[in-house]
Amino acid sequence: MFEIKKRDGLARLGTFHTEHGVLNTPTLLPVVNPLKLIIKPEDFKKMGADGLITNAYIILRSARHRKAFEKHGLHTVLNFDGPIMTDSGTFQAHVYGHVDVKPKDIMRFQAKIGSDISTILDLFTEPDTERKEVISMVDETVKRAGEAAKGRKGRAIAAPVQGSIFPDQRARCARAYRDMDLQVHPIGGVVPLMEDYRYVELVDVVMSSVLNLPPERPTHLFGAGHPMVFGLATLMGMDLFDSSAYAKYAIDDRIMFPWGTRHLKELSAFPCSCETCSRYTPKELMQQKPDVRQEALARHNLWTSFQEIKAIHQAIAEGSLWEFVAMRTSCHPDLYAAYRHLLEWSDKMERFEPLSRTSEFVTNLVDVQRPAFVRYRKRLKERVVLKGDWSVVQLKEGSPFDNQQERDRVIFHHPIGFIPDSLDQIYPAGLVHTSGEMSLWRKAVDRSVTIERGDPIEDPDERRVRTVAAYQFGPVIADLVLAGRLSIVTSSKTGRIRTVHADGDHVLSMRNDGFFSLKVAGARRIQAGTEAPTMRVIVNDDSAENNRLGRNVFAQFVIDADPGLGVMEETIVVNCNDEVMAVGRTILTGEELPRFGKGIVVKVRDGIGAPDSKNDHSED
């Protein structure tokens, strides 16, 4: 079972449950060569590893080691009690041209030695493989995955996505897995791309795979062992990584950092405070015996890798992963080219972007193409209509909220697009910080905004209410919720809107981020004026009673959902009879909601059977 706790872009903080414990994603699985241990597996947990990966084919082909693994199992022989994933020999087939094992036999062997995640023997599609051959290899890989799924006996199966550099074949392979009983999906055949710094092509390979895979299963970027690629890969939806680079680089006296690799002899000082770098100077380490030096460097390389994973976790948790990746990819021109190319996928990533963040930094023209800004411009164009005369003013550097200009029917020039004054408190419009010559921004983006003739809304609070509601919910839903005579309550201290009443019904409360929380009265108006599943999450009877009491919605009880729902969007929880049970905010998209089997998927705020909250100023 895979459970998502938090997301940013396609990145996911989650938990993947296996027989021997939990993998907290994103995470790194150190590669263990069972025939040559540089670091003892029992030390990996101390360094931050939830699990590890080893090669079942290497074990199978070693007469000296195979019997011990068959008799005692992976976890006992390796002295590691956490999740262990095994590879099948596909990479060895890539390197040597073939492997002497049948697909069914390697699956049986992985089960026999107790692998938590067994990988099928897929066909490694090289970047230069002809398209016709790639199609045939994808067909065979999918066939093997289907056979493995039918023979699954409780343990997780990893089925890699193949397809060379052809996005349509990657997508075809990924879609073929959707209805199979599979649990993990590595992106295979990508090591040659990373070895040759072909990161732009890697983006297309990964994105065409991820966007077509079942979202309820973790993904794995095979062979992505260098920390400099972790951030970009996580942003594209990768949950698992494996690394043999920590050991291979150490054997060659190479030392890894988040920004690149250096040979030990090139360093005059260690820019690091890990155990290795605190104990030795580069010169002292060069003087150590080869085995001592290799272990010390391997420990540093793993420490650096896990530190990067921790930094990525924090970036996802605080909603700053896009900024983190922009910074990390600037360390190498080919990586930065990949980041820029990823932005060409923004229109397809937009639905996974959270509705709100606490802030956003824009430092150059590239950043304004991030999915959140693409969504802002799209909604501004499609959902917001302004009436009457409006003044367009040049925004000073900073955010709109920092600018103390006349704010009545004003539209700000801004790098991300036009910002009407009534949207200057929502994300991203009022929470994005910019720098640089503003004159350079004017041609950067489509700045269209619809202004019609007609009587404007004179009251600035009502104008803000109607504009934000149209932007957030769409004009049809906004009109349903706000039908009738409006009464708007503002804070006596700040002047900001707190609650909105329509014909006496408390329909909306304004959050600290400038968006609205939907109240039960507003939800009932939407339910009465639309057909299911519009803005709804439909739950079974077992869940409905709990939700009406104000308890959260769990994945296993979801029957259906509005596919148009985004991440952290307001939603109505209804039972099978379309009766309103509660209101809350989504954790997943509407397309994902019915597919997950574990975890909270809607955070319920108000249930119809729960006492009303005393604090009408809702949460961020």
| Residues annotated as part of the active site | 87
* Torsion angle in degrees (nearest 10) through CA of 521, 527, 533, 539: 60
CA 367 from centre of chain: 18
Place of tokens 């995470």: 27
- In whole angstroms, give the CA distance from residue 410 to residue 500: 23
CA 71 from centre of chain: 40
The count of other CB atoms within 10 Å of the CB of residue 398 is: 12
Residue 334, token pair as written in the block: 């080919």
Number of H helices, E strands in the chain: 23, 30
8-state DSSP, 530: S
- In whole angstroms, give the CA distance from residue 369 to residue 374: 6
| Residues in contact with 491: Cβ distance below 8 Å, sequence separation at least 6, in sequence order | 497, 498, 617
> What's the Cα-to-Cα distance from 238 to each of 221, 309, 338, 598, rounded to whole Å?
6, 12, 15, 19
- Is the torsion defined by CA of 15, 18, 23, 29 positive or negative? negative
Largest CA distance in the chain: 86
User: Contact at 8 Å (CB) between 51 and 115?
Assistant: no
3-state SS, one letter per residue, for 364-387: CCCHHHCHHHHHHHHHHHHHCEEE
Residue 606, token pair as written in the block: 């108000």
